[in-house]
Chain A
Amino acid sequence: MLQSNTFSRKTKGGRIRKEVREVYLRDDIYCGATACKICDASGARLTSSPIIILDTNVVLHQIDLLENPAIDNVVLLSVVLNEVKNKNMAVYNRILALSKNSLRKFYVFSNQFHKDTFVKRMDGESPNDFNDRAIRVASHWYQTHLGGATSILLITNDRENKRKAIEEGISAETIQSYVKSLGQPELLDLLVNPASESEGVAMEVVEDLRPSKIQVVYPEHKPMSEITSGLHRGIYHQGKLRVNRYNSFEAYVGSESIGDEIIIYGRKNMNRAFDGDIVAVELLPQDQWHEEKNLSIADEDDEEEEDIRLAPSSADDAPRTTNLEVGSATNMNSTPSHPSGRVVGIIKRNWHSYCGSLEPKSKPAGTGGFTFVLFVSKDRRIPKIRIQTRQLENLLDKRIIVAVDSWDRRSSYPSGHYVRVIGEIGDRDTESEVVLIENDIDSRPFSAQVLSCLPPLPWSVSSEDLANPIRLDLRHVRVFSVDPPGCKDIDDALHCTALPDGNYEVGVHIADVTNFVYPGTPLDDEASQRGTSVYLVERRIDMLPKPLTEDICSLRADVERLAFSVIWKMTPEAEIISSKFTKSIIKSCAALSYVEAQARMDDSRLMDPLTTDLRNMNALAKIMRQRRIDRGALTLASAEVKFQIDTETHDPLDIGMYQIREANQMVEEFMLAANVSVAKQIRDYFPSCSLLRRHPTPTREMLEPLLRTAAAIGLSLDVSSSKALADSLDHAVGDDPYFNKLIRILATRCMTQAVYFCSGDLSPPEYHHYGLAAPLYTHFTSPIRRYADVIVHRLLSASLEIDKLPTIFQDRAQLTSIADNLNYRHRNAQMAGRASVELHTLIYFRNRPTDAEARIVKIRSNGFIVFVPKYGIEGPVYLTSKGEKGGGEWFVDEEKQKIVKMDNTISYSILQPVRIHMEVVEPQPNRPKLQLTLII
C-alpha cells in the first residue's frame, strides 16, 4: 500500500517548499510476540505478559531504569525511537544497544510502516500530539492483534496521553506506578522523577532545612532563539566548556569566533554548565576580565584541596595555569591575556553518568523513606550532585554511579539519580573499576560475535601460508625479541645479520595482526572502538581477545609466526642503503627481557652469535640515536615508576623508578626507524588517507612555566627550535646529578602529546613530529595493543598491493573520526594507567609511612608543591595550616620563585631539595589520602 507524507520544509536558501515523500506500508512487519499465531515468529522476542509499550518521555528520562534487567518484554515503536534520536543521541544509542542485546527482550516495531498502524499527520497537529497518537494507535493494534491472551501496557508519563489512552480502552500507567507494582524497592532509586514533580519535592525539602537557600542561585539561561541570534550578531560565543581538572571553579571555552580561549571563573559564571557542554558565552566587560587570581594551593571557597597525584608527564595532564603577566595584579592597566566571560546558555549538554561516593557529612533529609544526599564525583570537574535514595545506609561506604537529570536555577546542586553500586570504597577492585569507568574504558569480556572471528585453536602456520608467494620465509634467520620481563603480547622482533660485504641486514618483524583481523568484522569493530590495550598496575585490558594477543599474534620464542617485516640494508655507519617491506614467516630463537639482553651485551665472555647480533645492533642503534639527537630530537624524561606486585594478593610490595637501559634504547631506536620508514611509504602511496602521528611544536606560552623556573635559578634556555632546546637542556647541568633530569621532566611537562591524524586533514609542514624531529612519523610496531598500527598495517599492505585498501579509507571524514577516537582512547588509557599507579601508591603507603627526598617544583602562597622522584608523585606541602590564609607569615617572591618567612629566617626556593614525610591519613572515614609534610 502506498501512502505519502506531505510536509513543508525550509530550504537552505530560506524558502519554504512543499515536500512529498512516499511511504510504503507493509504487511510483513511482525508483532514480535512468541504467543502470536498470525505473525512470523522467527524474530519474536516478547515472551510473557504484559507487553510493555513505552512512550518517548519514558525512554528519554528513564534509560537507566530500562537498562536494568527487571524491565523486559518491551516494544519500542519506531516513532518513539525516531523522536529519541532527534532529542538525545546518547540515549538513542543506549536504547538501540538494548534492542540489539539478545539477552534482553526489546523488540523494535516499525509502526509507521505497518499497514494497520500507519498514522497520517492531521492538519494543525503538533509533532508531539502526532507521536502520542501514533503510539496509541500502535498500542491499540497490539491489543486487538494479540487478543486477550497477552495484555498490553502503555507506559507514559504524559498525563494527556495517558488519559486519552485510557479513554480509548488501552491500559496505561506511569512509570512510577509501574515500578512500584513490580515490588522491587531498589528499582525506585533508578527512577528519575519528572522535573515538575521532583522540583516540587526538592524545594519543599530545602525549605524545611535551609530557608535561607530558597533563592535564585543562578541566572536564567537565555532561550535558544536569543542565543542563536546572539551568536549570529557576535555578542555570544559558542564553544565547548572545559573545566580545569585541578580547579573546578575555573573553566575555559575555546571559541572560534574570537580565536582565543575565554576563561570563566566561578560557578556562578559557569551557570550550571558541566564539563564538555557546548555553551554560549557572553564576554564580561574588560575591567572585570582579570579577577584576583588566587595563587594559594587550595581555592578559597572550595573545601576540597589539591590532591597528591602522579607527576604529570605532559602538558595535557598538568594543571592548567593561566598566563599571568607578572605584576599584573598590581598594575591594573596592563591588559590580561585572556578574555573572561560568563555562560548565558547551554546549547548541548554533555551529561552522562559519574562515578563517586556519597558525601558522608551531608545530613540525611527527606520524606517518606527518601533521603536526599549529596554525591561527590571522583572527577573533580563535576559539581556535587543531589540524589534521593531509599538505601542510604547501604550506599554510604560504596562507590556508586550517578546520572544527572536536571539543574534548576534555584538549586545550588544539580539533581540526579542513583544508577548502580560498583563496590566498597577503598577496595582495590572497586577502585580499579572506578578508574576504568572514569576513563571510559570498556573492560567487558569480548562478545561471542567477536570471539567467533578468531581462527580455530590451536593455531599454527599452515602450509598455505608457507606456499603463499607474498610471504617471505625467514624461518632460517636468527630473529629474537627484547621486551619487558613477563611480557606476553610480544609484537616486535628483530634480527641483524652481518653481510659478506661488511654491511648489515637489519630486520624489524611485527606481528601480522591484520592477517587475523579483517576489516568490517565484529572483531575489527571492537578493536577499533577499544583503540588500545590498557595497562593497569595489576591487570591488562586487551584490545584484541586473549588467544590473539598472547598466542596467535605474539612472536614467542621457538614457534613459527606470521610477521610483517621491514628489512633494511645498513652500512656499519647505520646509513640505510635500501629498505624493503614484506609479509614474512619467522621463528624467533629467543624472547629476551631487557635485563637479559643487557646482561648478554655486557658480559664480554659471551661470544655466541645471538650476543654478537645484539652488540652489532646496539652499535648501530647508538649511531642512529646520536644522529637523531643531532637533528634536534629531544631526550625527554618522565618519572615513571614500577611496582612490584605480590603475586597472591596483588598488593604492591615495592615502588621504584623505572630503569632505562641501553637495551631499551636499542629496541626503541629500531622501532622508531621502522615507524619512520613505514610512514614515508604509506604517505607516498596514499598522500591523502594515511594515518600519521604528529607532535605539534610547543608555543612559547606553553614553555613559559619552564622558562620562569629556569630564570629563577639562573638558567637560560633557548626554546627557538627543538634543536636549540635539546642543546640547552644538555648544557643544563647543575651541581647535583638529578638536576638535569628534573629540568627535562619539567620540559616534558610543558609539551602536549603527539596525536594521530589523517594526512588529508593537514598540510605537510604540519605533519612534523617535534619531539623526534622527524618530518613524518606513524605507529607501525605494536598492532597487538594499538589499533592505529592495525590501520597502518593495512595501508602498508595496500601500498605493496598485497591487500586491497578497505573502503573506509576513501571516507576521509570517517578516517578523521577514527583518528579522533584513537587519540581519545590513547589518552584515556594513559590516564587510567596513571590513576591505577596513583591508587597503588596509596595502597602502598597505607601501612608504610615514609620519609623521602623531594624537590620543590612550584611555589604557592601558603606552601609549595613538591615532586618526589623516587615514587614519581607530586603534591602540596602546606607551610601554614589550612584554616588561616597564606601571606601572613610567609611572603612569596614571584620573580625569584621563592617563599620566604617574614622574619627572613627560612626560605624555600624552586627546585630546592627538601625532606618530606609521607603518610596516609583519613580526614573523613573511608576517604584515605596521602599527606605530605615537611621535615625541618
Chain B
Amino acid sequence: MEYVSHDGLRIDGRRPTEMRQLRAQIGNVSKADGSAVFEMGNTKVIAAVYGPREVQNKSQQISDHALVRCEYSMANFSTGDRMRKPKGDRRSTEISLVIRQTMEACILTHLMPRSQIDIFVQVLQADGGELEFISRTRSACINAATLALADAGIPMRDIVTSCSAGYLNSTPLLDLNYTEDSAGGPDVTVGILPKLDQVTLLQMDAKLPVDIFENVMQLAIEGCKAIENYIREVLLENTKQLEYRRGL
C-alpha cells in the first residue's frame, strides 16, 4: 500500500511532517477544578481534574507528596459500533497508568503533601474506532490532561505535551491517522517537557533500527513542540478571557 504518494502527499492530503488539525477548549466541565477538550483530527478527548483535595482513602495518603490518580475510559459512543466496553480492562488500565505516570512527572507533588489529585480522561470520539487502535488516543489524552491540570491551577514543572510519529514507506510520518496506523508499522509516542527538554513518555511496540528510530523520535519531538506552542496559545487566550471577565 502506498502511504505517501510520490508527490509527497499522505492519504489524507497532509505532508509527512504535518500534524492533523488541533483544537482545544478549556473549562467545559464547570464542576471540576479544571477541564479541557482536546481534538487531534477526528480524535476527541475530554479531561477533568479534581484537586488537590483531601485523600478519600486515608490508607493511600502519602505524607510527603500528593497522590495522583488517573482514570481513562472511552465513551460508549466513541467508536460508532455500539459495543459496551468493559471498564478496567487491560488496555484502559495501561493507558490510565501511562497518563498517570506522565503527569506525575510534571506535577510538583511535593508542594501538596497528604492531598489527592484526580484526573479523568474520556475519549469522546476515536478516529477509525477499532478497539485495537484506541491506544493511539493516548497522545490526545495527555494533551487534554495537561490543559485540564493547567486550568485547575495545579503547580507543574512544565506542561507535558505528547505526539506520535510512525514510519511507513521508508518515510517518517508525524501524527498517524487511523488508516496509517492500521498499516501496522512502528508508532512512536513521545511525551516531553518542552521547556526542560526532558522526555517523560516514550513508547513503541515494534522493531525499528536505531538510526531510523532516532529520526522518527526527533519528528515526534518536533510535533510535541508544535503542540506546546498551540497549548500555550490556548492557555494565554484563556487567561486573557479570565482577566477580561474579572474586569482587570
List the interface of chain A (C-beta within 8 A of B): 2, 4, 15, 17-26, 29, 78, 96, 99-100, 108, 110, 112-113, 520, 804, 807, 810
Given contacts A24-B12, A100-B6, contact A2 B81 (CB under 8 A): no
Name B20's contact: one of A18, A22, A96, A110 (CB within 8 Å): A22
CA distance A520 to B178 in the complex (A): 28
- The contact string, 1 if C-beta is below 8 Å from chain A, for chain B 1-17, is 00001110100111000
CA distance A112 to B7 in the complex (A): 13
Given contacts A108-B7, A810-B207, contact A22 B21 (CB under 8 A): yes
Residue of B with least CB distance to A100 = B6
In the assembled complex, which residues on chain B have CB atoms less than 8 Å from the CB atom of A4?
42
State which residues 42-72 of B face A: CB under 8 Å: 42
Name A22's contact: one of B80, B81, B177 (CB within 8 Å): B177
List 11 extra interface pairs beyond A21-B177, A29-B9, CB under 8 A: A4-B42, A21-B178, A21-B179, A22-B21, A26-B9, A108-B6, A110-B7, A112-B13, A113-B9, A520-B170, A807-B212
Residue of A with least CB distance to B208 = A807
The smallest C-beta distance from B172 to any residue of chain A, in angstroms, reads 13
CA distance A18 to B79 in the complex (A): 10
CA distance A775 to B242 in the complex (A): 78
- The contact string, 1 if C-beta is below 8 Å from chain A, for chain B 130-156, is 000000000000000000000000000
In the assembled complex, which residues on chain B have CB atoms less than 8 Å from the CB atom of A110?
5, 7, 9, 13
Which of A96, A113, A810 has the most chain B CB atoms closer than 10 A to its own CB?
A113
CA distance A520 to B170 in the complex (A): 10
CA distance A520 to B20 in the complex (A): 30
- A23, B13: Cβ atoms under 8 Å? yes
Given contacts A110-B5, A110-B7, A807-B209, contact A20 B42 (CB under 8 A): yes
CA distance A111 to B207 in the complex (A): 36
The smallest C-beta distance from B162 to any residue of chain A, in angstroms, reads 20
In the assembled complex, which residues on chain A have CB atoms less than 8 Å from the CB atom of B80?
17-18
Name A15's contact: one of B14, B81, B170, B178 (CB within 8 Å): B81
In the assembled complex, which residues on chain B have CB atoms less than 8 Å from the CB atom of A19?
128
CA distance A110 to B14 in the complex (A): 12
In the assembled complex, which residues on chain A have CB atoms less than 8 Å from the CB atom of B20?
22
CA distance A78 to B11 in the complex (A): 11
CA distance A15 to B178 in the complex (A): 19
Given contacts A17-B81, A810-B207, contact A22 B6 (CB under 8 A): no
Is B41 part of the binding interface, using a Cβ–Cβ cutoff of 8 Å?
yes
- B13, A26: Cβ atoms under 8 Å? yes
The smallest C-beta distance from B129 to any residue of chain A, in angstroms, reads 8
- The contact string, 1 if C-beta is below 8 Å from chain A, for chain B 206-240, is 01010010000000000000000000000000000
Residue of A with least CB distance to B130 = A11
The smallest C-beta distance from B6 to any residue of chain A, in angstroms, reads 7
In the assembled complex, which residues on chain A have CB atoms less than 8 Å from the CB atom of B14?
24
CA distance A112 to B13 in the complex (A): 8
- B12, A22: Cβ atoms under 8 Å? yes
The smallest C-beta distance from B140 to any residue of chain A, in angstroms, reads 14
Listed by A's residue number, 12 A-B pairs whose Cβ atoms lie within 8 Å are A17-B80, A17-B81, A21-B42, A21-B179, A22-B42, A23-B12, A24-B12, A24-B13, A108-B5, A108-B6, A110-B5, A112-B13
Residue of B with least CB distance to A807 = B209
Residue of A with least CB distance to B128 = A19
In the assembled complex, which residues on chain A have CB atoms less than 8 Å from the CB atom of B42?
4, 20-22
Q: Classify chain B's interface size.
A: 20 to 34
Residue of B with least CB distance to A21 = B12
Which of B5, B178, B212 has the most chain A CB atoms closer than 10 A to its own CB?
B5
The smallest C-beta distance from B50 to any residue of chain A, in angstroms, reads 32
In the assembled complex, which residues on chain A have CB atoms less than 8 Å from the CB atom of B5?
78, 108, 110
In the assembled complex, which residues on chain A have CB atoms less than 8 Å from the CB atom of B128?
19
- A96, B6: Cβ atoms under 8 Å? yes
In the assembled complex, which residues on chain B have CB atoms less than 8 Å from the CB atom of A29?
9
The smallest C-beta distance from B215 to any residue of chain A, in angstroms, reads 12
Residue of B with least CB distance to A85 = B2
The smallest C-beta distance from B11 to any residue of chain A, in angstroms, reads 8
CA distance A29 to B8 in the complex (A): 11
The smallest C-beta distance from A686 to any residue of chain B, in angstroms, reads 14
- B41, A22: Cβ atoms under 8 Å? yes
Counting from the closest, the 4 A-B pairs by CB-CB distance are: A113-B13, A24-B13, A22-B12, A24-B14
In the assembled complex, which residues on chain A have CB atoms less than 8 Å from the CB atom of B209?
804, 807
The smallest C-beta distance from B201 to any residue of chain A, in angstroms, reads 25
The smallest C-beta distance from A11 to any residue of chain B, in angstroms, reads 8
The smallest C-beta distance from B191 to any residue of chain A, in angstroms, reads 24
CA distance A24 to B170 in the complex (A): 22
In the assembled complex, which residues on chain A have CB atoms less than 8 Å from the CB atom of B7?
108, 110
The smallest C-beta distance from B55 to any residue of chain A, in angstroms, reads 42
In the assembled complex, which residues on chain B have CB atoms less than 8 Å from the CB atom of A113?
9, 13
CA distance A22 to B209 in the complex (A): 31
The smallest C-beta distance from A491 to any residue of chain B, in angstroms, reads 29
CA distance A810 to B178 in the complex (A): 24
- The contact string, 1 if C-beta is below 8 Å from chain A, for chain B 159-198, is 0000000000010000001110000000000000000000
In the assembled complex, which residues on chain B have CB atoms less than 8 Å from the CB atom of A810?
207
CA distance A29 to B80 in the complex (A): 34
Residue of A with least CB distance to B7 = A108
CA distance A29 to B5 in the complex (A): 13
In the assembled complex, which residues on chain A have CB atoms less than 8 Å from the CB atom of B13?
23-26, 110, 112-113
The smallest C-beta distance from B17 to any residue of chain A, in angstroms, reads 13
The smallest C-beta distance from B16 to any residue of chain A, in angstroms, reads 13
CA distance A24 to B18 in the complex (A): 10
In the assembled complex, which residues on chain B have CB atoms less than 8 Å from the CB atom of A112?
13
CA distance A23 to B20 in the complex (A): 10
- A2, B21: Cβ atoms under 8 Å? yes
Which of A23, A100, A807 has the most chain B CB atoms closer than 10 A to its own CB?
A807
Residue of B with least CB distance to A107 = B7
Residue of B with least CB distance to A26 = B13
CA distance A18 to B125 in the complex (A): 13
Residue of A with least CB distance to B211 = A804
CA distance A843 to B9 in the complex (A): 54
The smallest C-beta distance from B126 to any residue of chain A, in angstroms, reads 11
Which of B12, B177, B209, B212 has the most chain A CB atoms closer than 10 A to its own CB?
B12
CA distance A100 to B128 in the complex (A): 33
In the assembled complex, which residues on chain A have CB atoms less than 8 Å from the CB atom of B212?
807
CA distance A876 to B41 in the complex (A): 72
CA distance A23 to B177 in the complex (A): 11
CA distance A900 to B30 in the complex (A): 106
The smallest C-beta distance from B108 to any residue of chain A, in angstroms, reads 37
The smallest C-beta distance from B216 to any residue of chain A, in angstroms, reads 12
The smallest C-beta distance from B184 to any residue of chain A, in angstroms, reads 11
In the assembled complex, which residues on chain A have CB atoms less than 8 Å from the CB atom of B12?
21-24
CA distance A113 to B13 in the complex (A): 5
The smallest C-beta distance from A864 to any residue of chain B, in angstroms, reads 55
The smallest C-beta distance from A224 to any residue of chain B, in angstroms, reads 23
The smallest C-beta distance from A104 to any residue of chain B, in angstroms, reads 14
In the assembled complex, which residues on chain A have CB atoms less than 8 Å from the CB atom of B6?
96, 99-100, 108
In the assembled complex, which residues on chain B have CB atoms less than 8 Å from the CB atom of A26?
9, 13
Residue of A with least CB distance to B14 = A24
CA distance A2 to B12 in the complex (A): 10
CA distance A22 to B10 in the complex (A): 11
State which residues 82-104 of B face A: CB under 8 Å: none
Which of A22, A26, A804 has the most chain B CB atoms closer than 10 A to its own CB?
A22
- The contact string, 1 if C-beta is below 8 Å from chain A, for chain B 25-50, is 00000000000000001100000000
The smallest C-beta distance from A108 to any residue of chain B, in angstroms, reads 5
The smallest C-beta distance from A661 to any residue of chain B, in angstroms, reads 47
Residue of B with least CB distance to A43 = B7
CA distance A26 to B8 in the complex (A): 13
Residue of A with least CB distance to B206 = A810
Residue of A with least CB distance to B177 = A22
Residue of B with least CB distance to A804 = B209
